[in-house]
Structure 1
């Protein structure tokens, strides 16, 4: 049990800074390659943890959680074309987050082991890894989504889930988000959370021109989520778990990362 048996690392987030060595084009939908890089980094230091998260994860009934998420890549020198992102020599970075004890320690140590590699067809090397300080949360916080927040409902008549866009049913959206946080809490802490209040609202000034949804293709899945600032009010332990594990679903695919 990786949650209870390990003593805990000092950091739950880190920024991975890269040097881009040569020009290359990468696809817009690169999230699966970042997931693979994270598993590779973990495996270089702890194959047991990497295999457990990849193959099994933490389960409760039909729910499975990997308890990590990551931000999109940021490039200092790039342009976008129809075929993808043209990246020029310079720098890049992304952030990784996990509430699991020692996850960041294992990941960052492992990435140093493999520090020269190709990300898809982009030759890079690790320039620096910056551990980010722990945060303390109040019972009301405002966050900015750096990657889309995904919530879905299953329909027996359809083979693919219906992704919620908040505006069609705000109450259902809040209910699904709260249930997701509660399930994560149960698995992580092994007990029920204390919840005296729960409220969640997006900053709808971002909705005026068009709904800020993003459609991302992850391998063969087309996943739609919402990317906007939001305010959440509830138990600070639930807020902290959402911050470090990701809000909503499909966090280990790079969804629900906030700052």
Structure 2
């Protein structure tokens, strides 16, 4: 059974973060989880075939100020991080860990916990409009070459649908097909972000998803596209 909520974490901090701060957020989240769950997810995750599935996803830190002169982010006051997982034990572990630690450290910057909300996942029927709070990365790797796809390429929707179905299969849920249509997405929504020395292409913006309700809820809990546990593909239902 899929969890009925995601986490909305509010932190307070004063300092600076590098543009690659998502690596630090990922490391901090692993450290929040109890042993051996954190180690299991870090080393492999929930496996389906030979490809690892960690089945959690997180947003960008919302509320940062970008400093173009130093190519860094300033943290000045409160910031928000959304965290979701299709695994109840991961959500519960994150709650216990962040309460126990009173926050988390990202690249040496202490972020003190100011609030934690269990935000309900909405009931959905056959359609859902979502907004990306972290870039959606969609790609294939063939012959050692990685090809990323944009939202207007048919492979974008196809690979998102296949990925959601594979996640469902790993959880013992029925798969299916999900149609993905960009809503007002423009070239300016493209993001190139560096993760552990590799450039990753992703897309922000709004999208309309149509498909089985279970897969639509799974999109909100485990993310769209690939590299979800690295901070890509977090989506939230779009405001009206």
Alpha-carbon deviation of 1:121?
3.7
Select which of 16, 19, 41 maps to 1:25: 16
> 2:142 is paired with a residue of what secondary structure?
coil
Residue 153 of structure 1 aligns with which residue?
Answer: 140
The verdict on how the C-alpha distance between 1:26 and 1:160 changes in structure 2, with shifts beyond 3 A counting, is farther
The verdict on how the C-alpha distance between 1:80 and 1:55 changes in structure 2, with shifts beyond 3 A counting, is same
Alpha-carbon deviation of 1:227?
1.1
The verdict on how the C-alpha distance between 1:117 and 1:153 changes in structure 2, with shifts beyond 3 A counting, is closer
Q: Does 1:254 align with 2:235?
A: no
CA RMSD of aligned residues (A): 2.0
The verdict on how the C-alpha distance between 1:211 and 1:91 changes in structure 2, with shifts beyond 3 A counting, is closer
Alpha-carbon deviation of 1:141?
0.8
Q: Is the 8 A contact 1:25 1:121 kept in 2?
A: no
> 1:51 is paired with a residue of what secondary structure?
helix
Alpha-carbon deviation of 1:69?
0.3
Residue 133 of structure 1 aligns with which residue?
Answer: 120
State how far apart, in whole Å, the 2-side matches of 1:94 and 1:239 are.
21
Residue 73 of structure 1 aligns with which residue?
Answer: 61
Higher share in strand: 2
Structure 1 length as normaliser, TM-score?
A: 0.84
The verdict on how the C-alpha distance between 1:86 and 1:224 changes in structure 2, with shifts beyond 3 A counting, is closer
| Aligned residues between the structures | 236
Select which of 174, 185, 189 maps to 1:212: 189
Alpha-carbon deviation of 1:72?
0.5
Select which of 147, 153, 172 maps to 1:162: 147
Select which of 104, 124, 134 maps to 2:111: 124
The verdict on how the C-alpha distance between 1:177 and 1:125 changes in structure 2, with shifts beyond 3 A counting, is same
Select which of 199, 215, 224 maps to 2:179: 199
52-61 vs 32-41, greater mean Cα deviation: 52-61
The verdict on how the C-alpha distance between 1:88 and 1:192 changes in structure 2, with shifts beyond 3 A counting, is closer
Residue 91 of structure 2 aligns with which residue?
Answer: 104
Structure 2 length as normaliser, TM-score?
A: 0.90
State how far apart, in whole Å, the 2-side matches of 1:134 and 1:16 are.
15
The verdict on how the C-alpha distance between 1:219 and 1:231 changes in structure 2, with shifts beyond 3 A counting, is same
Select which of 50, 58, 74 maps to 2:46: 58
56-65 vs 229-238, greater mean Cα deviation: 56-65
Which consecutive unaligned segments of at least 5 residues does structure 1 have? none
Q: Is the 8 A contact 1:26 1:84 kept in 2?
A: no
State how far apart, in whole Å, the 1-side matches of 2:161 and 2:201 are.
19
Residue 6 of structure 2 aligns with which residue?
Answer: 13
Which consecutive unaligned segments of at least 5 residues does structure 2 have? none
